[in-house]
Structure 1
């Protein structure tokens, strides 16, 4: 059966007939899975990833590492949970480090983590590694990684574009040392250099020199995961110099890591509780985490819900009313589409700020949200660094996704409250949440 037959071009977003009451098992974190794959590939001994996310982005990362010589053995459960996504309890990937080599061509798709995290790895390979991807990947900034790697001793051919396609001519090692970059367009520039830095001859000192650095929780995630495999990291969060990260050269240890549920992918399900005045439980929500999605507890509570976090998971309950919010999302920008969808259904205006960098994500998310919500009757205006949303009565229509998974889930949230919403290319959710349509309909009891 083809993907198009499973997910037709226009997917009728289910309309909620009442309050949802569901338990939704959310698959593993993409951000954790792809960082863990890189660190395991660079370790001095084999390691395990348990409950990894199997999605387009993570499979692209795994295939790229395999192409460069890393062994990744998969044990995959084919069963599904009746309450949500894949039953990942039996899934594990064993990662066996090996000598990295080229020549090889890597397909990054439109995955920011793959296109940014792997060029430093490729610089350690013996031979050329060519990077290519989806057309949109050519438009996403990569200059921060390219320029930094050249300063650190790498040879890269990109024809001066600062973007894909490009070739990294791996020399088997990299000098490393100090480098200054402007990572204001993507925190992934910093994470990319830190993840491979223990293998650089001199480690690395990364100094951010630009405007506000977005998505700091993702850098904290990178630092925590580096330390968990034995790396020494000095950072601003622990008394280091502001906007400077230092990683010392060292061997990395193989670990047995269980991947947390992807809290950002839990967003549409929590939003469903808020929009319908219902209740959704997400098992295994961590009590402590660096994932940006954990901010949903506070944000959605401020918008009218309530939550209870226990050692078993998070239960979020809607009150039957949705309030507007004035919130700076600079640290958690990936949550913006889902928050905008809820805000369009609120009883008062919202201002979402601090997210100018979203114009450079899978699509220009600010322009896309403005256009799609307005075409359903909304009133959204772009600001210099975000969106102003004035709720209006919405009507049905086509909600375009622009090959962006978070646009698809945002449109689905609106469809809960607005009959007749059709999502164009809902299959794009496979980027990080492959079973989203089935999980959504099961949540509604369909």
Structure 2
């Protein structure tokens, strides 16, 4: 599997804020991370890439003595980590910067993180819908030591953006989540763990809804990025869809990634799952796929929902209402696309209810959403005649997905041929 996008872009932001150079091994190179690298370069961060013998990429990051204050231009594409994390970086820089992105990015929620930065003295000028791309920000009058409240119901990235900038903000940061649900708390926990790993000092309130980050420079660091466990999901789920066996190497024994939940999810749905001493995770499909009642699947939901459409009983996915604001409205998209293959899907206030039906071929849309594309590929293993439009949208986090998927499928054909012999 390629490296984790979530961890790569967190490490890159913190390396840009560090007091000395950093080295990031096994850096993901994909559209989302290229956009982040381009954004950091705009602030004067020096970046040197080296391709290792195993094909992985190492990035050496040299932060400037002072981040550029602009005026700057930042292109976000459709990368949530860029459009949410980088404005907080621009605030630390005291920068004037204009942000824009793909057409689909202009309808993704931004207001909570921008409103929080406004509480710190940042001035925003919107060139379209208020609270969304495109906008220009002016952080030359950044205030010190303010306590900030933020709405974290639509995306965990709003909170993570402020936390990542916290050590470099004048006076640090006191952040409190507004009343209401927290989207994808696992990703917030990942941000907290990453900050602590690199030496930041922060306290989390007892209820998990408040954070106090001390103003303290982060020293340069050397890290190796874990494989992307969320992107491993479609491959692992293939074992259930085909009653086959899939093995993924370099699976961490402990992780902050939400993709680590695949071990429990797939076992609950009927797979045999084991992690060997060699760090190879093996998933074996043993028979019918069981329906599941599962909360807070976050970015795993598209693949999980596709697997639920192949199950022998209904499933209910809750705590994922925030997926309406991802690359597309994933709840509506899953209702439409799973319906095409025969499942009955009901959208609820915070999730999906999925009742499998007689499976049928269909042409599936990807909605410029990498996880919708990979969910469609998974269905194609079980339903003859599935076609997925614009599979290349997987380049957002996994540029080699089509080739790797084809290579995996080819091993199944080889196994069948060997069995026939």
Cα deviation code 1:304-338 (max 9, x no counterpart): 1021113423111111220111111x2x3101100
> Is 1:351 matched up with 2:342?
no
- 1:124 match: 92
- 1:110 match: 78
Q: How does 1:44-443 map to 2 (within 5 A)?
A: 44-77=19-52, 87-89=54-56, 91-98=57-64, 99-101=66-68, 102-158=70-126, 161-171=130-140, 174-236=143-205, 240-311=206-277, 312-328=279-295, 330=296, 332-443=297-408
Cα deviation code 1:413-433 (max 9, x no counterpart): 000010110000000000011
Q: What TM-score, normalized by structure 2, do the two folds share? A: 0.94
SS in 2 for 1:100: coil
- 2:11 match: 36
1:172 is displaced (CA, Å) by: 8.5
SS in 1 for 2:360: coil
SS in 2 for 1:105: strand
CA distance in 2, matches of 1:157, 1:274: 50
1:296 is displaced (CA, Å) by: 0.8
Cα deviation code 1:82-130 (max 9, x no counterpart): xxxxx444x2000001121112211101111100000011112254111
1:158 is displaced (CA, Å) by: 2.2
1:168 is displaced (CA, Å) by: 1.8
SS in 1 for 2:2: coil
Asked if structure 1 preserves the Cα contact closer than 8 Å seen for 2:78 and 2:327, the reply is: yes
SS in 1 for 2:275: strand
SS in 2 for 1:264: helix
SS in 1 for 2:230: coil
Cα deviation code 1:28-72 (max 9, x no counterpart): 000000000000000000001100111100110011000110011
CA distance in 2, matches of 1:279, 1:420: 23
Asked if structure 2 preserves the Cα contact closer than 8 Å seen for 1:127 and 1:171, the reply is: yes
CA distance in 2, matches of 1:45, 1:283: 33
Asked if structure 2 preserves the Cα contact closer than 8 Å seen for 1:305 and 1:317, the reply is: yes
- After the TM superposition, which parts of structure 1 deviate over 3 Å for at least 4 consecutive aligned residues? none
Higher RCO, Cα 8 Å, sep 6+: 1
CA distance in 1, matches of 2:62, 2:357: 54
CA distance in 2, matches of 1:136, 1:188: 17
SS in 1 for 2:109: coil
- 2:415 match: none
Asked if structure 1 preserves the Cα contact closer than 8 Å seen for 2:121 and 2:142, the reply is: no
The structure carrying a bigger helix percent of its residues is 2
SS in 2 for 1:445: helix
1:147 is displaced (CA, Å) by: 0.7
Cα deviation code 1:144-172 (max 9, x no counterpart): 11111111122222267111111122328
SS in 2 for 1:171: coil
SS in 2 for 1:231: coil
Asked if structure 1 preserves the Cα contact closer than 8 Å seen for 2:13 and 2:164, the reply is: yes
CA distance in 2, matches of 1:176, 1:123: 14
CA distance in 2, matches of 1:233, 1:124: 18
CA distance in 1, matches of 2:13, 2:240: 37
Q: Structure 2, unaligned stretches of length 5 or more?
A: 412-421
